[in-house]
Structure 1
Amino acid sequence: MRPRPPPSRTSDQPPGARPADPHPVLVSRASDPPVIVEMNASVEAIEGSHVSLLCGADSNPLPLLTWMRDGTVLREAVSESLFLDLEEVTPAEDGVYACLAENAYGQDNRTVGLSVMYAPRKPMVNGTMVAVEGETVSILCSTQSNPDPILTIFKEKQILATVIYESELQLELPAVTPEDDGEYWCVAENQYGQRATTFNLSVEFAPLILLESHCAAARDTVQCLCVVKSNPEPSVAFELPSRNVTVNETEREFVYSERSGLLLTSILTLRGQAQAPPRVICTAHNLYGTKSLELPFQGAHRLMWAKIGPVGAVVAFAILIAIVCYITQTRRKKNVTESPSFSAGDNPPVLFSSDFRISGAPEKYESERRLGSERRLLGLRGEPPELDLSYSHSDLGKRPTKDSYTLTEELAEYAEIRVK
């Protein structure tokens, strides 16, 4: 038996090398479960904005990726990564989202939180809106927002209660009064906006007759004004005890009434009242009580004009004009007498007064002159002293002097003396 010859070598095969295998074997990657390697951190978004959440995993074979929220599947696909797009997010989409990656060899999951920020919603108000004077009132104001708001309750720009970063605010009003009646505001605000709600508190109470109530006269008419504050609206009547007459607001011919808020104004008109007006009593009544007040009379000067009537007013006006004219003429005369004109002469005029002495005159004339002055002051009548002058001329004038107590005018005498 002949031996088999060794196999021949090819020219491109190095010495000692193994021949190539005509059927090569491929080496594959080992199979492994998925691991989530990419995920959003917690996300904050403003209401109405766009949000995109990403989840990526590494595994062999490729995993099945699923986005879920509260057990509900939102999106899934076999892929290395998967996006979840949320258009115009709302507060309803606020919450926790989960990403699940799985294949035949295992699974992995992670979560991400989405916080939707928004301005406060319109506050809700509930509680007691109608109360009787003296009762306690409790009102609750609440809202929703992210983040929590600052809540404040106002009345006529005055802060009554406030709370920071809370969604509810309680207002307590112990023993309410009529002043607590009115409009209130509940305001909620954060960095994204502000909203407010108004509400009214109605306090019911017995009538109060205000101090501006009174009667007044105008010519031959007397009007009586009665202003009443109450809730609910009262019935008002005017009583004239001296005439045994009662007039209520239903008699439109005599009484006019007008309501403004808690105030009711009633006006009683009495015609032909030239004499002093009668006593008038205003009475207001509602289901919580009754209040009465005798109305004071104001404006006595107007009553005087009402008594004298139009003709008397014209006469009084004419008298007033006459008095003014008389005073004016008197002042003009006074100005003339205070500045008298003297005729020109060789000798200058000399004014005679109580301090005047004639040079060289006997002493007795001086004593007699003083005695005459004293008699005039005492109201006595006496003969004036005679002066031994060769020439004398007197020009008497009147000089008014006013007495601050009696307002009368006294006459002062002037004498012009010329000596030859």
Structure 2
Amino acid sequence: MIGRSFFLLSLLQAVVSGQWSADTPPDVTAQNGLCARIPCHYRHSSHLNNKPRTGIWYNSEKNKEDSVAFHSVDPSLESTKFQHRTRLSGILRDNDCSLVIDNVTLQDAGPYFFRVDFGGGNRFNYHPVTRLSVTDFTDNPTIFPAEMVAGQPVTVTCIFNTTCDGTAPTLTWVTPADEPTSASHSVTQRGDTLTYTSVLSLTPVLKHHGQNLTCRVRYPTVSSEQILTMTVQYAPQNLSTTSPDKVNNSWVSVKEGNSAAILCSVQSFPASNLTWRHLGVALNTTRSSNELWMEFPQLTRQDAGVYQCVAENEHGTAERDVTLTVEYAPWNLSITFHDDANSSWVSVKEGNSAAILCSIQSFPASNMTWRHLGVTLNTTRSNNELWMEFPQLTRQDAGVYQCVAENEHGTAERDVTLTVEYAPWNLSITSHGDANSSRVSAKEGNSAAILCSVQSFPASNLTWEHLGVTLSTTRSNNELWMEFPQLTHQDAGVYQCVAENEHGTAERDVTLTVEYAPEISQESGCSRILESVTCVCAARSNPPGELTWRLPLAHLSGNQSHGRFHTWQVAGGHLVNGTLTLRRGEEGEDVTALCLVRNRHGEAMLTVLMEVNGRDRTGKYVVAVIVLAVVLGVVTVSVITTAIFWAARCRNKRESSVMQRMEQKVEDGPVESPYQELNVGDRDLYSELQLRSK
């Protein structure tokens, strides 16, 4: 017992003296799919130097049996997910406990610590733990491009560097499908870095220019790649000549006196040096460009002849001839419709037939063509007349048509505009950028503008009408505005736009809605029947307002009941009508209620006094003296009767003060009685107001 205690004391002293310690980093980061290495060197009591030992790595904060990541003696004790993937990079007896995890996964992230066990109770856990973080796989291979010339073999090298000596990566190539390739592979090491190399052999051709060559590195669970766009050098080819003038079989024909421009273009890489030549003389040259223009500001017949374009780069040469002829064009081309010669404008009603004649003076006779939107409609050869016929015209036939006449000396052409007349259609109403509106809504007091537009030819006479009355008219114009400088209630309604020309009529309705703030109706008021008092609050607004009864202890809306109060509400069109009924109770107290009607344009209020202690009779009376209409922040105070106001203006001030105190009570907390803040004089004031309002 004494010996064991002595040993434990010695062990404690060794720990305190720092003999049991390890050098491990607090954090290690590895890429998913690669390897992770946690550097570790440990120290222990010197009397154990020659003792056999067991090294254990745990994937946890504490030494749990199910979290063993590595076991130097019995790998079967390792957690299933770490088996065959963990090892030590150094020698455990040399105090090197560095851990290597191959094929790291995201699930391997977490805390790790090392434990050594010499047996006989000599074991130690080395803390603090090292936290392993696993990030996405981001390492890419590197392709070293090589100069590629069409038809010549070339090698392209791809390398991938890694410090992981566990599972070896695989380098593969993705090449154009029709290209036979071969690749060699090698591995070299310098220090801790392993370099995997793949050399691809291929023979590029012209069609590979611009295609992709991909080198891909692959581990068991991750992969990455680098793409090289192939740049294949080749000799000039596909040399062509083009011109704004006609080019046919390397022949360009231009009318005398006109300008001409001929473009020589070629495909090559690198870009070619281009030269235009005539009669063995170089006319102009460009370097490292695959295009070259030859221009004639004003042609003469001496410019006619054969010209050569020559393209040359370091890989070869190409050339092509083009023959330039200077022509004398046909002249006096005319368009005839219904015996009207030299027509430039033809107008026919939709559904009718039409025939237009194109004629030319030329010798020899010209080849003539009718064209529309760049499409040839019909052609005649060696004939100075050509008809264009329409058995039944539609509006789609309208447009510009060209008649082209050509002979061996040149070309002449002329346009004729065909218009197809038709009745108004596609009438649309537009307001605030909203096309084809059937309903327009605007706020009272604002301005409004509504556009009516139509498609027709000739242009229509447009009219705005309302309730059978013509508001505005325009003649021979397919657009007409209807404007309201300042909208009122009375402007609301259905308006018609009517379009008319000599071929027909079209019309369309638009509904104008005028929105306005709530206004308390004169129909509002209160009446007492037997044991109850009923007040009606009616208000008009657009859109219809939300009506709320504000009582000392509650806010009611719709169909609700609260104590002795019951509300009922009905809405129709722009009118909302709310009814508040107070049943007589034991308290027998009078109540002041506020009717509030609100929409997005403002609000209106009506304050009423509901008396239940008066004489039992049926009658309608107005109790409140204050009707407040709040529209767009503008407060208007209306006095119900001037006589009541002047007779009781002093008492009205007291009533207003009492009402404010009562509303404050509602905001601050429950009020036992609406007369809690009133004195006798105040009660007399309400009685007097009731009598004067009857």
TM-score by length of 2: 0.32
Larger radius of gyration: 1
Q: Which has the higher contact order (CA 8 A, sep 6+)?
A: 1
TM-score by length of 1: 0.50
**Normalized per residue, which structure has more strand?**
2
